[in-house]
Amino acid sequence: MNSATHTTPLRTQAKFTGVSLTRVLPLILTVVLIFTYLTLPWVNQPGLGATTAGLLTAARANNEIGVMTNGLALVPLGALLAGLAGVWALVSPKSDRAAGLLAAVGGGFGLQSFVIAFSDAGAEGLDLAAAAGMGFWLSLILSALLIVQAFVPRPAGQTPLGKTFGNQEAVLGMALMLLVLLVGLANPRFVAERNLSDVLQGNAYIAVAAVGMALVIISGNIDISVGSLVGVLATISGSIAVAKAPDGTPALPVEGLIALAWIMPIFIGGLAGALNGFLVAYLKIPSIIVTLGMLSILQGGLIMVTKGNWIDKLPPGYALAQMRPLGIPMPIVFMVVMTIGGVLFLKYTPMGRSLYAVGGNKEAARLSGISERRVVMSAFIGNGMIVGVASILYATQLSVIQSTVPPNLELLIITAAVVGGISILGGTGSVFGAALAAILLNAIRSSMVFINVSPFWLQSVQGILVLLTVLADLLRRRRQL
Amino acid sequence: MSVLRSLLRSQEFVLIVIGVLAIGFLASRTDKLLTADNLLQQGRFLAEVGLLALPMTFIIITGGIDLSVGSIFGMCAILMGHAWFVWGFPLELAIIFALGIGTLGGFLNGLFIVWLRVPPLIMTLATLAIYRGVAQGVSEGRSVKNFPDWFAFIGNGNILGIPVQVWILLVAAILCGIVLSRTVFGRILYSIGSNELATRFSGLPVNRTQLLIYAFSGFMAGLAGYIFVARVTTTRSDMGMGFELDAIAAVVLGGTSIFGGKGSILGTMIGVILIQLLKNGLALNGVTGDATIVVIGAVLILAILINNFITGRE
C-alpha cells in the first residue's frame, strides 16, 4: 500500500454500532408519546377554552376510558420516561445522537403537558390556548436547539449537553424563553404584545453600547465612564437639535440641523474615547483609574451645563428611535446591524483580531509586531463613537432629553457585554450574545414589576448575574488549562 | 543638591508643596477657609472618607482595589436603621450588627478574590452593584429618622474641642501607620504588591492576609457609615455613592502606586486632607458642588501622572 497517496479519512461523526435496547427504547417511547398526544382532544380543539380538568370530567361522565387514560396516565408518564431517556442521552457522550434528540423532543411534549396541567390547577381565567401555544413553541424551539447542537461536531468526550450549555448564546436564549414562559404564566399581562415589544426595544441602546464596550474589554481594559458619556452626548445632540440663531429662529434648515444633531455625538464621543485612549495607551495610566476620573468629570460637567434642566420642544423628524424603516422599529435595526457589524469586525478584520491578541497576551502581541498603543487607542476611539450612536438612540426614545441617565448605566452596559459572552479578563469573547443579554436584562427588570418583586432589588440581581457569568468563565478557563 | 533631589522623589513632599500652594491660593481669595471653626468642621466631614482610605491604602499596596466600599457604606447605613426601626433591635445592637454586616461584605469580597481567584476589580465592581442593590431593596426608598440624642454624639460631638470622628480617624491612622511600617503584616502587604508569586513561594500567608484586608475594608466602611448616619441623623439608600472615588483619589494622591508595592499611610492622610480642603476652598470661592466633582476626577488622573513622572515610569 502506498501510504503517500492513501490517507485515512478523519472520523468526526459517531459511528452507528448496531441496535440495542438502550438505543431503541427512547425512540419507541417518543413515537408512542407523540401519537397519543396528537389524538388528545385539547390539541384538536385549541381555541375552545376547555380545560384539562373539564375535559377529563366530561370524559368520565361519558365513560370515555380512552381519553381518561390518555390524559391522566399515558401522556404524562410516557413523556416523563422519554424525557429522562433524552436527558440521559444528552449527558452521556456514548449514546446514539438520533435517539437522544428524539427523546428530548418527546420530553418537550411532556413539558408542555405539565405546563398545561399546572396552569389549569393554578391561575384562573388563564387562556388555555395561550399556555398550550407557549408550551408547544418552547418545546419545539428547545428541541430544534438540541438537534442543531447534537449534529455540530464536538471534541471527543464532550457531551451534547456540554456543547449546548457551553454555548453562551444558547444559554441566554433558553434563559430568556424560560423567563418569558414562567412570568407569562404567573401574570399573562407580561406577554401582551405592547410589553414584549417594549422589552425587546427598551435596552437596544445598551446592546449597541455593549458592542463598543466589548472592544475595550477584549483588549484587556475597562471603561466605567460610558454611562456619563451617554448622558453628555445625548444632551449635546439635543442642544444642537433645538439650537436657535440669535434672532430666535432655528439656526439651520431643520433637516440639516437634525443630521448634525445625529453626527456630532458620534464625533465627540470619538474625541472623548481618544482622550481616554491616550491616557491609557500612551501615558500608561490603568484604564480603571482613567475612566473613574473621567466618570466624575463627565458627571459633574453634565450637571454644570444642563443645571438639571431637561431639553424639550425637540423638532419633528429628530426622533430617530421612534422611526420604523420597513416597519421594523429603529432600535432593533440598530441593535442587529451593530451586533452583526461588531461580530464581523472582531472576527475578520486585522484590527479586530489584534484586539484579541493584545488582550490575550500583551507580550506575544508585541513580539508579533502589533503596536499595543495603537490597538488600545483604536479600541477606545471605537468605543467612544459607538457610545455616540447609542446616545442618539437613548436621547430619542422619549420626546424630551433628560439631564440624567439611569443610575449605574455603565454597570448595565458592562453586564450586557459580560453576560453576553465577552470575557472580562480580556482576550476572548463574542458580541453576539450582548444583544440577547441586553434583552434578558430588560426582561428581568420588567418581569419584576409583573410578579410583584420590588424593583429596588434589580441592582442586586444584575450584580449577581455578572458575578455568576464571571465565575463560569473562570471555571471554564481553569478547566482548559 | 542630592537632598533636594531625594526630597523631590518623595511624593509626600511634592504633595505638601503643591498642597500648600493650592490651599494658599484658595485661602487668599476668601477669609473663611483657614479659621479654626471651618477647619474643625472640615475635619468632621473628611473623617468618613479618611476611614475608607486607610484600608484602601493596604489594598492598593497589595496591587488590588476595592470599588465596593461606597456600597458597603450605604448598605450598613440602611441595615443599621432597618434593624433598629423595623426589626426592633436595641440601637446598640443595631450598630454592632451593621459593623458585622460590613465586615461580612468585605469578607465575601476577599473570599471570592482569594479562593476563586476572581480579579479584585471585577469582584468589587459586581459587589458594588449587589450591595447597593441590597441597600435599595431593604430600604425601598424609605428613610429612618428620629434617632435618640446620644446616637448623634459620635457624629456631631466634641472631645476636648475636637470632633469625635477626627479622634477616631487619628487613632485609626496611627494604628494603621504602625502596622504598615513596623510590623511583619505590613511588610507582607508590600511584598504581595511587589511580587505575589515570590511572596507565596517564600511561605508567607498571602491568602489570609488578603482576606483580612478586604474584611477590614468592609468593617471600616461600616464604621464610616455609622458615623455618617450619626452626623446626618437619617438613613438613605444612596449614601456613600461615589465615596470610592474619593478614597482611591486620596490614596493615589498620597503616593501609593496603583500598581502596588509602594505607599504610606502618611501620604494617604495628606491626600485625604488635601482633597477635603480643596473641595472646601472651591466651595467657599463660589464653585458649585458639581464642578468640585469634576476637579476631583481631574485630580485623580493628575495624581497618577505625577506619580509616574516621579518614579520615572515609561
The cell for A245 is 440663531
Task: State residue A250 phi and psi, 5-degree precision.
Answer: -55, 140
pLDDT given for residue B62 in this prediction:
95
Query: What is the reported pLDDT for A50?
Result: 43
Tell me the residue type at A148: V
Q: Does residue B9 form part of some domain? A: no
- Rounded distance between C-alpha atoms, residue B167 and residue B47, angstroms: 9
Q: What is the mean pLDDT of chain B?
A: 88
Lowest mean per-residue pLDDT among A83-97, B38-52, B99-113, B268-282: A83-97
Q: Which residue of A has its CA nearest to B300?
A: A293
Residue of chain B minimizing CA distance to A425: B119
> Is the pLDDT higher at B249 or at A252?
B249
Residue B72 domain-assigned (yes or no): yes
A464 and chain B: CB distance < 8 Å anywhere? yes
CB A321 within 8 A of CB A330: yes
Choose the mutation target among A454, A460, A469, A475 for the interface with B, i.e. most B CBs under 10 Å: A460
B249/B252 Cα distance (integer angstroms): 5
Are B253 and B77 in contact by the 8 Å Cβ rule? The answer is: no
Question: What spatial distance separates the first Cα and last Cα of chain B, rounded to whole Å?
Answer: 25
> Can you give the pLDDT at residue A122?
44
Domain count, chain B: 1
Q: Where are the domains of chain A?
A: 21-165, 199-480
Q: What is the b/e burial string over B77-100, where b = at least 16 CB atoms within 10 angstroms of the residue's CB? A: bbbbbbbbbeeebebeebbbbbbe
In-domain check, residue B49: yes
Tell me the residue range of the domain where B160 lies: 39-241
CA distance B159 to chain A (A): 36
Element (H, E) at A200: helix A193-202
Write out the H or E segment, with its range, that includes residue B225.
Answer: helix B206-232
SS3 B115: helix
Strand duo B158-159 + B162-163: pairing: antiparallel
Q: Given this model, what pLDDT does residue A45 score?
A: 43
Q: Kindly tell me the burial class for residue A308, based on how many C-beta atoms sit within 10 Å of its own C-beta (0-12, 13-18, 19 or more).
A: exposed
Which residues of chain B neighbour A406 with C-beta distances below 8 Å?
none
Q: Which residues contact A98 (CB under 8 A, 6 or more apart)?
A: A27
Contact A464 B252 (CB under 8 A): no
What integer pLDDT is reported at residue A347 of this predicted model? Answer: 86
Among A456, A476, A479, the residue to mutate for chain B (most B Cβ within 10 A): A456
> Which pLDDT does position A9 carry in this prediction?
56
| pLDDT tens digits in sequence order for chain A, 481 residues long | 444 555 555 544 445 445 555 556 656 666 666 665 555 554 444 433 344 445 555 666 676 666 555 555 556 666 666 666 666 665 665 555 555 666 666 666 656 555 555 555 444 444 444 555 555 555 555 555 555 555 555 556 666 556 656 667 767 777 777 787 777 767 767 766 677 778 888 888 999 999 999 999 999 999 999 999 999 999 888 888 777 655 566 655 566 677 888 899 999 999 999 999 999 999 888 898 899 899 989 988 888 877 777 877 777 777 777 777 777 788 888 888 998 899 889 888 999 999 999 998 889 999 999 999 999 999 999 999 999 999 999 988 877 787 777 878 888 899 899 888 888 878 777 787 888 888 888 888 888 888 888 778 888 888 888 888 888 888 877 776 5
Give me the helices (H) in B233-264, please.
Answer: 243-253
- From A403's Cα to the closest Cα of chain B, the distance in A is 13
Q: Which long-range contacts (CB under 8 A, 24 or more apart) does B166-169 make?
A: B166/B40, B166/B43, B166/B44, B166/B47, B168/B47, B168/B51, B168/B223, B168/B227, B169/B46, B169/B47, B169/B50, B169/B51
Contact in structure between B256 and B57 (CB atoms under 8 Å): yes
Question: Whose CA is closest to A108, among A133, A135, A130?
Answer: A135
Fold designation for A199-480: ABC transporter involved in vitamin B12 uptake, BtuC (1.10.3470)
In total, the C-beta contacts within 8 angstroms joining chain A to chain B are 133
From B167's Cα to the closest Cα of chain A, the distance in A is 30
| Chain B residues close to A460, C-beta within 8 Å | 129-134, 136-137
Work out the minimum CA distance from A1 to partner chain B, whole angstroms. 55
Q: Kindly report the nearest CA distance between residue B42 and chain A, in angstroms.
A: 22
Instruction: Using CB atoms within 10 Å of the CB of residue A367, give its burial: 0 to 12 exposed, 13 to 18 middle, 19+ buried.
Output: exposed
Whole-angstrom distance, CA of residue A191 vs CA of residue A209: 27
Q: Does A406 touch chain B (CB under 8 A)?
A: no
User: Dihedral, CA atoms, B264, B266, B271, B272, nearest 10 degrees?
Assistant: 120
Give whichever of A177-181, A392-396, B3-7, B56-60 has the largest mean pLDDT.
B56-60
Contact between B221 and B76 (Cβ < 8 Å): yes
User: What is the model's pTM?
Assistant: 0.77
- Inter-chain contact A464–B126, Cβ cutoff 8 Å? yes
Rg (CA), chain A: 27
3-state secondary structure of B183: coil
Q: What angle do CA A459, A464, A466 make, to 5 degrees?
A: 100
Q: Confirm whether B174 is domain-assigned.
A: yes
Task: Return the pLDDT at A24.
Answer: 60
DSSP state, residue A188: G
Cβ–Cβ below 8 Å for A462 and B293: no
What is the per-residue DSSP string for B9-72?
Answer: T-HHHHHHHHHHHHHHHHHHH-TTTT-HHHHHHHHHHHHHHHHHHHHHHHHHHTT---TTHHHH
Q: Which residues in chain B are closer than 8 Å to A284, comparing Cβ atoms?
A: 308, 313-314
Assess: ipTM above 0.95. no
Residue B302 is assigned to a structural domain of this protein: no
Phi, psi (degrees; rounded to nearest 5) at B158 = -125, 145
Record: contact B293-A294, CB cut-off 8 A: no
A457 interaction partners in chain B (CB closer than 8 Å): 133, 136-137
B297 in A contact zone (CB under 8 Å): yes
Among B109, B117, B130, B256, the residue to mutate for chain A (most A Cβ within 10 A): B130
Q: Which of B23-27, B225-229, B236-240 has the lowest mean pLDDT?
A: B23-27
pLDDT tens profile B68-111: 999 999 999 999 999 988 888 888 899 999 999 999 999 999 99
Say whether A289 and B139 touch across the interface (CB within 8 A): no
**Residue B193 maps to a domain:** yes
Q: What confidence score (pLDDT) does residue B265 get?
A: 93
Task: Write out pLDDT tens, residues B148-183.
Answer: 888 888 888 888 878 888 999 999 999 999 999 999
d(C-alpha B314, C-alpha A281), whole Å: 11
Q: Is B117 on the interface with A (CB under 8 A)?
A: yes
CB contact under 8 A, B137 and A290: no
Residues 146-165 of A with CB under 8 A from B: none
d(CA B306, CA B252): 10
pLDDT at B292: 82
Task: Report pLDDT for A126.
Answer: 43
Q: pLDDT grade, residue B120 (50/70/90)?
A: very high
